[in-house]
Structure 1
Amino acid sequence: MRLIVYSHDAFGLGNIRRMLAICQHLLVTIPEVSILVLSGSPAIHNFKIPARLDYIKLPCLGRDRNGKLAAKYLTSDIQETVELRSNLIKTAILNFKPDLILVDKKPYGLLKELKPALDILKARSPQTKLVLLLRDILDSPQKTIQEWQQQGYYQAIQHYYDRVLVVGMSEVFNLVQEYQFPQIVAEKTRFCGYIKKTCLPYSTALIRTELGLTASEKLIVVTPGGGEDGYSLIKSYLSAISQIKDRHRYKTLIIFGSEMPSVEREKLSQIIEDRSSIITLDFTDRLMSYMQAANVIVSMAGYNTITEILSLGKKALVIPRCKPSHEQIIRASRMHKLGLLTAIDPNSIITDNLAEAINKRLNNSHQVSAILNFDGLLNIQQEIISLLSKEQIFLSTEQPFSLVTNEDRLDSYPFSIAI
């Protein structure tokens, strides 16, 4: 069985990390599956690539902090770069002949680069299944509805796609209602639950020893995700801890992120210089292990980071990104109202609020109760299996992922953030 996974990746590492986690689960639980990933992520080579998976690296498109797209490295203009990417995608699909294509977020791909391949598939290979994967929250309802209407995404799903899989819970954010899905699109949509990454090869004791922590010292982990827009978060944290008394009782691990611009990383390094209580890394594939060992986590509100933190039972201090999308603000607000994290309004006086929140968390070590559904990987696998003929699949009996379910419905909460 052959799958193609399309991940456009114009900003950060979240999309490719999420798609690779799905691929890893499918590879473990469906032994004969072979997966080809089409990705524009400049950091895909940083990830461990498992057996039976390969990737085609598409030329990078970069999105600035205002959302404008351009070629990231090539000198060609945006249209030339999109045409090149589109031709590579079309050639890969025609030659690999997938049984199913899993498309991340955009039904037509970035700037409609996927549409020519979809048209050819519809004409030449109508048996190929098309699945759209959406994270729990895309953007504000007003902006998302407007974009989907302008881009013809509702019609694209009706015409091309067999299923829409949402890695989230309708009880947290009912994407079907919030984004006014037409009935035919709503009928194709399944809420799968959140994706839980559970690989923790390093013990907390080993991590603490590696970081040189004494028995009485606590650990604060600061992570801005991919780091492309993480400068403000880390700078705010450094200002906040200068207000905390008794600095000898904790150490900080700051992970800049592989996408942080070198100029910004250098500025932060100069501020941090000679502070023995602060350890820095540019990138790590052991983030879950570090977060497991943390007493306090300071982060943005990206999907992967928040779900990883909550799957560990940790409560984070979160400063959400507020542009170019409202996605993180909405997620932080909903999760804050559920008592799963402490959200700090990015428009408030961040330093004072963050310092107060860190002090509280250093003196309060309680963990978060598991009230979210983390069956995402299993449910995605089952949906894919249901779309393909049973003769193609021999399903592995191995289920290496622990799952948490919650039978209680969660209330809907208004769009707001408070300390």
Structure 2
Amino acid sequence: MPVDRNDSTRLVTYSHDGFGLGHLRRTLDIARCVVRDVPESNVLMLIGCPSASLFALPPGIDYIKIPSIIKVDTEIWHMRNLRIDQKKGKALRASIIQKATEVLDPQFFLVDHTPAGVWGELVPTLEVLRRRGATKVLGLRDILDAPEVIRAAWEKKQFYQLINTYYDQVFIYGCRDIFDTASHYGMDREVPEEKISYCGYVCSDGPHATPQQVRRELRVQNQPLVLITAGGGYDAYPMMRACLDAFQLLGKPLPFVPLFITGPLMQRDQQESLWTHAAGLNIRVLTSVEDTLGYMNAADLVVTMAGYNSLCEVLHLKKKALVVPRAGPSAEQVMRARLFAGRGLIDVLYPQELSAKNLAERIVSDLDRTDFPRHDRAIELCGGRRAARRLLELGEEKVIPTPALRQRSSERVPGFIGQGL
């Protein structure tokens, strides 16, 4: 399906959103770039995130909320709210995805992270789009998990074959010189090189308040500002509670002003626990803010976790950050934190080192340090714009399938195991 940019450009995206806001935010950043580059385009996002209403959508972008799932362990997913089994959950998600895609009839289909969907719910839609000649792209963040874990899982689930069968391109949202995703995860041996594009890191580059504006709003003048935040916040409670304990250990008056943003996905009882403990220390705890980048930019030090979006924002703003990576269930955050710390981009406190004492010492020390973050020329932060433009280029390059190709493309490829990572 070659794309005429004078026609309405239609893109459907899928993000499973089983843990946090990262998949949704990354996909939305790319969608915004598409509608900015092609003003008459339409983007329909198929999402599982229960907090999508928090994000402002420009004209041309809308979403359909599919029933949410939640990751409870490596490769194990449950329905988040509905009391139905996996079989019904898969059928429900698959039917919504396929019907919406058939009606909109997109020229482009962009999938984040899970080649077949979490339970294989994307395969029927991929079949339909293959017959129609749509451009199908799989987008992967820089680090998924330990290489041996991903290679074994993808071989078992036949994901390499699935990618070669259904996808026109794989976009890697990272930099080869920082982490060679294709090589580490076996794609360099299983997927043709011309199918793989490194786009750079995807980071929101929208307008945000100046540090002076944020500080006036917070009534913080010359004191150092320490921002404690972790994206959606679903798994941030242990880190944030340890920070409160660290501040209590330092005693009053603190040599800085701390501000917590828990994130909208933190469980209510955990938020209430933070509010209770923070009240005794006269520390502000917010659930979420509209201008996260503005608040981060106003901080002298950011204490956060090693999620993709959080660290991309830190790099984009060139902020000092003390990073406490999540211990599991995957190795993703520890790997990313170690990689970035080794390049002098962040300071890191590993999960096994997390304590009030260690946090207190490191926060005070990092506020005084001037040796990080280092400038790293290998870091490219234009991934959203580059992914959007490459996607549109692929549509222009697309050749209309011949009848023979259409006949072959209608033959179903069996055997793909649906469970995503």
Q: Does the 8 Å CA contact 1:244/1:359 hold for their aligned counterparts?
A: no
Structure 1 window deviating more from structure 2 (240-249 vs 192-201): it is 240-249
Q: CA deviation at 1:66?
A: 6.1
Q: Provide the TM-score with structure 1 as the length reference.
A: 0.89
Identify the structure with bigger relative contact order (alpha carbons < 8 Å, sequence gap 6+): 2
1:360 Cα deviation from its structure 2 partner: 1.1
Q: After alignment, is 162-171 or 192-201 more displaced?
A: 192-201
Letter in structure 2 aligned against 1:291: M
Which structure 2 residues correspond to residues 281-360 of structure 1 after superposition, within 5 A?
281-360=286-365
Q: Distance in 2 between matches of 1:157 and 1:335?
A: 29
Deviation at 1:232, TM superposition (A): 0.2
Residue 104 of structure 1 pairs with residue 90 of structure 2:
no
Q: Which residue of 1 aligns with 2:227?
A: 221
> Aligned partners of 2:205 and 2:334: how far apart in 1?
26
Q: 1:155 aligns with which of 140, 161, 164?
A: 161
Change (3 A) 1:77 1:40: same
Letter in 1 for 2:248: S
Aligned to 1:180: 186
- Inter-CA distance 361–32: structure 2 relative to 1 (3 Å threshold): same
Question: 5 Å matches for 1:11-410?
Answer: 11-64=19-72, 68-123=76-131, 125=132, 127-181=133-187, 182-215=189-222, 217-244=223-250, 247-276=253-282, 278-364=283-369, 368-371=373-376, 372-389=379-396
The answer to whether the 8 Å contact 1:140/1:327 transfers is yes
**Identity, % of aligned positions:** 33
Amino acid at match of 1:97: D
User: Quick one: which amino acid aligns to residue 329 of structure 2?
Assistant: P
Q: What is the count of residue pairs matched by the alignment? A: 387
Does the CA-based 8 Å contact 2:211-2:298 persist in structure 1? yes
SS at match of 1:42: coil
Q: Secondary structure at the match of 2:381?
A: coil
Alignment root-mean-square deviation, CA: 1.7
- Report whether the alignment pairs 1:5 with 2:13: yes
TM-score (norm 2): 0.88
- Rounded Cα–Cα distance in structure 1 between residues aligned with 2:227 and 2:207: 16
| Amino acid across the alignment from 1:15 | H
Change beyond 3 A, Cα 1:90–1:349? closer
Shift of 1:17: 0.8
2:5 is aligned to none
**Given that residues 225 and 301 in structure 2 are in contact (C-alpha distance below 8 angstroms), is that contact kept between their aligned partners in structure 1?**
yes
CA contact (8 A) 2:110 2:137 kept: yes
For 2:24, the aligned partner's letter is I
The CA distance in 2 between the partners of 1:183 and 1:65, in whole Å, is 27
Deviation at 1:199, TM superposition (A): 2.2
Indicate conservation of the 8 Å contact 2:246/2:360, yes or no: yes
Whole-Å Cα distance in 1 between the matches of residues 315 and 207 of structure 2? 15
Contact kept, 8 Å, 1:311 with 1:370, in 2: the verdict is no
Deviation of 1:306 (Å):
0.2
Change (3 A) 1:130 1:390: closer
